[in-house]
Amino acid sequence: MNTLNDDLNSDLYAAVVAGNIEAVGASIEAGADVNKPNKDGLSPLSLAAINGKLEAVSTLIKAGAEVNPLDDNRAWLPLCTAAKGGHQEVVHALIEAGAHVNQSSNGTTALCIAAANGKLEAVSTLIEAEADVNQIDTQGLTPLLVAAGYGHLEVVTALIEVSADLNQSNNEGETPLLLAAKMEHTDIMEYFFSIGIDYESARAYAEKKGLKECELKLRQSWHIFISQSLEANADYQDRYRKIESLISKCPVMLEPLYNPLVLVPSGYSIEESSWRSIESVAMASNTAPLCPQTRKVITSACPNYTLKEANEKLWMEIEALYQEMIRSAPLADASMFQSEPKPRGAGGEAPGKIRRLGKQ
């Protein structure tokens, strides 16, 4: 008898995945269990949901499939699988059938899953159904944290517009901005900067935790953002350009130096990452590393603390100038004071891709 039931359910699983409604109906009529999960923990309704089979979803619900199955939290809920696939119509149908929008499945929620997979329409549908945008899953993650970490700018924007918490951190103490920086999602970092997120706290945390590359990416992206904002403001453009012209640039990348190394014996300084690239190429070709300026052999490279400190002081001046600009801006135009954050730069423009300093 068990073998017969297993065969019936195997037929039902196959029919659901194929979207064959006639076969789905026949399997149910023959006695297949509409609530029995397969070996992967997916019920027939969850299978229909993840594959976006709306008609199969409706058929299963009418046949008694549970939209909110009570289990040990290890099976995937239909709403969560629909959210993962981004099937907005299925998400809507399940909610209409009584699916609980904040119920956890495998430790997370439908909104977190949709956000992690960049499914904007599913995210919007769940938000309209009053899903909790700040609900924390078992890993300490919120929808905004996962959207920022996976680089889904449109989802990030949608969540911010309904008051998602910008400062909520995960179990490791990482905020949405820090996660975006770790994964080098510059468009999301730029958006966060444009709505006045606390850059310095994220940078200080990265420095404290020894996240060297993350801290550098934060500083670079922040400096690019405030530089573009000052460049776009006619009242501050000349003062900014005067300070910026004094910043030493890497002759290889043509961008500001953050971790300069002086090359011996040439005396030229380049960014640490550029030196690592030169070293790597030399090792791969079994040749001596050459100075990019003089083309002579480099015998060693050591930190140029004097140049690093000089550049840091100049950036402090630029940051002070930016803060002055923000304070002097009319309240309605100061993005960091907006009650409903909008993705815009200091000049009022929508943010685009961050332009690298030193490159036109």
For residue 96, the number of C-alpha atoms closer than 13 Å in the C-beta half-sphere is 12
Q: Is the pLDDT of residue 159 over 80?
A: yes
Contact criterion met (CB below 8 Å) for 142 and 136: yes
Task: Decide: helix, strand or coil at residue 26.
Answer: helix
Order of strands across the sheet that contains 300-303: 269-271, 260-264, 300-303
Helix residue spans in 245-304 (DSSP H): 272-285
From residue 219, alpha-carbon distances to 184, 240, 334 in Å are 12, 17, 22
Q: Regarding the domain delimited by 2-209, which CATH topology (the fold level of the hierarchy) does it fall under? A: 1.25.40
Q: List the chain domain ranges.
A: 2-209
- pLDDT, tens digit (0-9, with 9 covering 90-100), for 286-321: 999 999 999 999 999 999 999 999 999 999 999 999
Task: Decide: helix, strand or coil at residue 263.
Answer: strand
Q: Is the pLDDT of residue 39 over 90?
A: no
pLDDT (0 to 100) of residue 339:
36
294 CB neighbour count, 10 Å cutoff: 13
- The pTM of this model reads 0.83
Name the residue among 333, 329, 336 with its Cα closest to residue 200: 336
Q: Is the pLDDT of residue 40 over 90?
A: no
Q: Is the pLDDT of residue 334 over 60?
A: no
